[in-house]
Structure 1
Amino acid sequence: MKYDYITLRERPGIKETAAEWFSSKWGVPKEAYLECMEDYLSGKTEYGWYLCLDGDKIVGGMGVIENDFHERKDLAPNVCAVYTEESYRGQGIAGKLLDMVVDDLRSKGISPVYLITDHTGFYERYGWEFFCMVQGSDPEPSRMYIHK
C-alpha cells in the first residue's frame, strides 16, 4: 500500500480536518489542537504535526507539544496524540511517523524528544528508550521514553 506521509505545513488546508480527527481519537477539544497547529503553521513553534494519508483520508498521525500533561516540565518536547486507525495497524505507519518526527526535529536542532505511554515493547522497535516514570493526569504514573 502506498501512503503519503506529510507534515501539516505541507498541506495546511487540512488543518480543520486534522484537528477534528485528533479530537475524535483522544477526546481533547478540537480547539486545543487548532491552537497548537496554528502556532506550528505560523512559525511560532517548530513543534509540528505529522500525518499519514490514504488518499484524502487521515489514517495515522501524531503531534509534538511542549509537555504532554505530566509533571516533568524539564522533559520537552513531547510526542503526543499518537494514533493509527485500527484497520491500518501492523503496517509500520506509526513507526514511519515516529522516525519522521525525530528526523524533522533533529534537522532543526531539537533533540532529545520524549513521549509518555502505557505501551511496553512498541516504541523500543523505533529507537526509543525507557527513561523514567512520570506523574501525568492519570492516578498511576506513566512510562516516559526518550529518543536521542
Structure 2
Amino acid sequence: MPLRLEWLADHLQHSDTYAAWIHQQFAYEYAAQPLAEWQREFADGQTNGDWPCLIALDGERLLGGAALARADLTLRPDLGPWLACVFVTPEARGQGLAEQLIDGISQAAKQRGLPRLYLHTQNKQDYYGKRGWTVLERFRAWDNEQWLMVRDL
C-alpha cells in the first residue's frame, strides 16, 4: 500500500500517539504542560482550527506529520499561521517524508489564501534555509537559542 498524506481530523485514533511524540520530541516546550492536557488540546485542535495536522500513513501505520498552527509562539502572538509539530519516526527518516509533509502544509495554507508561513526551530535552521525559508530573527526561549523563520507562499 503506498504512503499517503491525510488530515489527522479524518484519523483521530492517531491523535494521542502523535501528540505524545511531539510532547516528547519538543519536551523543552511542553515542560509545563502535562501530556494528557496537551493530548486533549491537540485533539481539539484538529477540528477547531488551532492545530490541523497532516499525517503520513503507511497502511494504518503512522509515520509522521506536520501541523498548520494558528499560534505556536507565545512571544509573538502577532505572527501566524505557523508550520509546527514537524516529526517523522526514526525508521521513516531520510526519505524526504518531512519535506512532503511541509509541502503539504504549505499548499494547504496557500489554498486558504494565506500569504506566508512562520516557524521556529532550535537547530534545524539550515534544513529550512535550504528549502526557501528565511531567518527573521534569533531569540532566546526555553533556555536556548531559537530561530524564527518565514516563507512566502
Question: TM-score per shorter chain, which class?
Answer: 0.7 to 0.9
Structure 2: state its 5+ residue gaps.
Answer: 24-34
1:96 equivalent in structure 2: 100
Match of 1:26 in 2: 22
Q: Superposed, which structure 2 residues align to 1:1-148 within 5 Å?
A: 2-9=2-9, 12=10, 14-17=11-14, 19-27=15-23, 28=35, 29-40=38-49, 48-118=52-122, 119-136=124-141, 138-148=142-152
What is the distance in 2 between the residues matched to 1:76 and 1:122? 20
Report the AA paired with residue 62 of structure 1. A
2: distance between equivalents of 1:97 and 1:26?
15
Q: CA deviation at 1:125?
A: 2.9
Alpha-carbon offset, residue 56 of structure 1:
0.7
TM superposition shift of 1:96: 0.7
Q: Which amino acid aligns with 1:31?
A: R
Letter aligned with residue 151 of structure 2: H
Q: Distance in 2 between matches of 1:7 and 1:78?
A: 16
Q: Deviations over 1:29-55 (max 9, x none)?
A: 210111111214xxxx7x631011111
Counterpart CA distance in 1 for 2:106 and 2:151 is: 8
Task: Count how many residue pairs are aligned between Structure 1 and Structure 2.
Answer: 138
Deviation at 1:135, TM superposition (A): 4.5
Which has the larger displacement, 21-30 or 54-63? 21-30
- SS in structure 1 of the partner of residue 76 of structure 2: coil
